[in-house]
Structure 1
Amino acid sequence: MEKKKIVEIKNISMTYHTLDGETKAIKDINLNINKGEIVSLVGPSGCGKSTLLSIIAGLIEPTKGEILIKEKKIKGPNKEVGYMFQRDHLFEWRTIIENVLIGLEIQGRVNEKQYKNAENLLDIYGLSEFKESFPRQLSGGMRQRVALIRTLIVEPDLLLLDEPFSALDYQTRLAIADEIGIILKKEGKTALMVTHDISEAISNI
């Protein structure tokens, strides 16, 4: 059976122009990601990893090439793409369950069924007792789990993870990376993660 492509990255290049000249961030990137795959890109800081994610998310336009998601060309931000950043970006004045629901709230999709789904995800991933807590009351690893649930609940076809564990200490980073890898596989999600840490990348395979 032929695997179903979720993402097609075709000849992507990106050059930044400034008053001092131009800088090539990435050049001639080609990659296909199939449904259910978790792909890790490993490279040092400044090699263009985050630039590639921003292009896939439709946040910036490449100098050359195109991105297709489910055979449709990306022309801007797309609700089929979920983006998990380096920091969790939880709103400190909102409770945990309110943070989880914010993406659905923006889309006007919050209802009783979705609220129950949010409670269920928090329960499955060990956070149900903290649903009325505030982010400052959670550990760094717990905050990252909340950020992931917030991304998952809007049901994107593709998850982009931009070094989402870099703010954590090394031991916690590996534990949470492994944990989130298990969550992604359990939910059957397609994901692209960028990192500079080989151990972190391996933990998601």
Structure 2
Amino acid sequence: MNNNKVLEIKNLGMTYHTLDGETKALENISLDIHRGEIVVLVGPSGCGKSTLLSIIAGLLKPSNGKVILNNREVKNPTKDIGYMFQRDNLFEWRTIRNNALIGLEIQDKVTEDAKSFVESLLDMYGLDEFKDHYPSQLSGGMRQRAALIRTLATKPDFLLLDEPFSALDYQTRLVISDEIGQILKKEGKTALMVTHDIAEAMFT
């Protein structure tokens, strides 16, 4: 067992307060993820999966407990975490190549080496002939691959995947979840994915 711990969740809880009272989304969640592990959490819609990811990403402050990434408590969003959402959120007016560069542009890291890295990812994972195409010209599975490459381009230390295949039809979902699982393993990434689909979890 690899003891190089990347993420540590300690006694995490989240309660939402509304005019109608309190809603407990998470209670006493503890989890360790080590380098190179791909962990998949399965649960029905509305059980708090996305809330958990938002807390890990530093987008929400938990009611209690803490999240520690590489021995530092996560209190705000950090570039060390890459987040892949349910929808690919590709910009329709940008080519696939330019979509893949967005994260690097935001972080002001568009160097020649970074662009070469993105080109190599696009070539390696089957989008070499589609770099100058627009998202509307790609299948749903190819769009998800492009979204993952955009996330990998900034070389985050830890990846969060929030039901990233839910918008795809069932057969495509199983194929692309297997593909993306292989990409994550090949790139040596550490990741946490949440889904409501047991078959999808098994294929990742």
**TM bucket normalised to smaller:** over 0.9
SS of alignment partner, residue 114 of structure 1? helix
Deviates more, 1:106-115 or 1:155-164: 106-115
Q: Tell me the TM-score normalized by structure 2.
A: 0.99
The corresponding residue for 1:201 is 201
The corresponding residue for 1:155 is 155
SS of alignment partner, residue 90 of structure 1? coil
1:83-102 maps to which residues of 2 (within 5 A)? 83-102=83-102
Q: Structure 1: which amino acid aligns with 2:175? A: A
Q: CA deviation at 1:2?
A: 5.3
CA-to-aligned-CA distance 1:60-80 (integer Å, 9 cap, x gap): 000000000001000100110
Poorly superposed stretches of 4+, deviation over 6 Å: none
SS of alignment partner, residue 9 of structure 1? strand
Corresponding position: 1:109 with 2:106: no
CA-to-aligned-CA distance 1:70-120 (integer Å, 9 cap, x gap): 010001001100000000000001110000000000111102111111111
Q: Structure 2: which amino acid aligns with 1:161? A: L
Distance 1:126 1:41 in 2: 28
Q: Is the 8 A contact 2:2 2:35 kept in 1?
A: no
Q: Is the 8 A contact 2:92 2:134 kept in 1?
A: yes
Distance 1:156 1:135 in 2: 24
Q: Structure 1: which amino acid aligns with 2:5? A: K
CA-to-aligned-CA distance 1:169-188 (integer Å, 9 cap, x gap): 00000000000000000000
Q: Is the 8 A contact 2:7 2:34 kept in 1?
A: yes
The corresponding residue for 1:165 is 165
RMSD: 0.8
Corresponding position: 1:144 with 2:144: yes
Q: Structure 1: which amino acid aligns with 2:73? A: K
What count of residue pairs does the alignment treat as equivalent?
A: 204
Distance 2:43 2:117 in 1: 36
The corresponding residue for 1:187 is 187
SS of alignment partner, residue 58 of structure 2? coil
Distance 1:18 1:2 in 2: 42
SS of alignment partner, residue 122 of structure 2? helix
Distance 1:35 1:158 in 2: 9
Q: Structure 2: which amino acid aligns with 1:131? A: K
Q: Tell me the TM-score normalized by structure 1.
A: 0.98
Corresponding position: 1:18 with 2:53: no
SS of alignment partner, residue 31 of structure 2? strand
Q: Structure 2: which amino acid aligns with 1:153? A: A
List runs of 5+ in structure 2 lacking aligned partners: none
Q: Structure 2: which amino acid aligns with 1:99? A: N
List runs of 5+ in structure 1 lacking aligned partners: none
SS of alignment partner, residue 24 of structure 1? strand
SS of alignment partner, residue 58 of structure 1? coil
SS of alignment partner, residue 89 of structure 1? coil
SS of alignment partner, residue 109 of structure 2? coil
Q: Is the 8 A contact 2:8 2:68 kept in 1?
A: yes
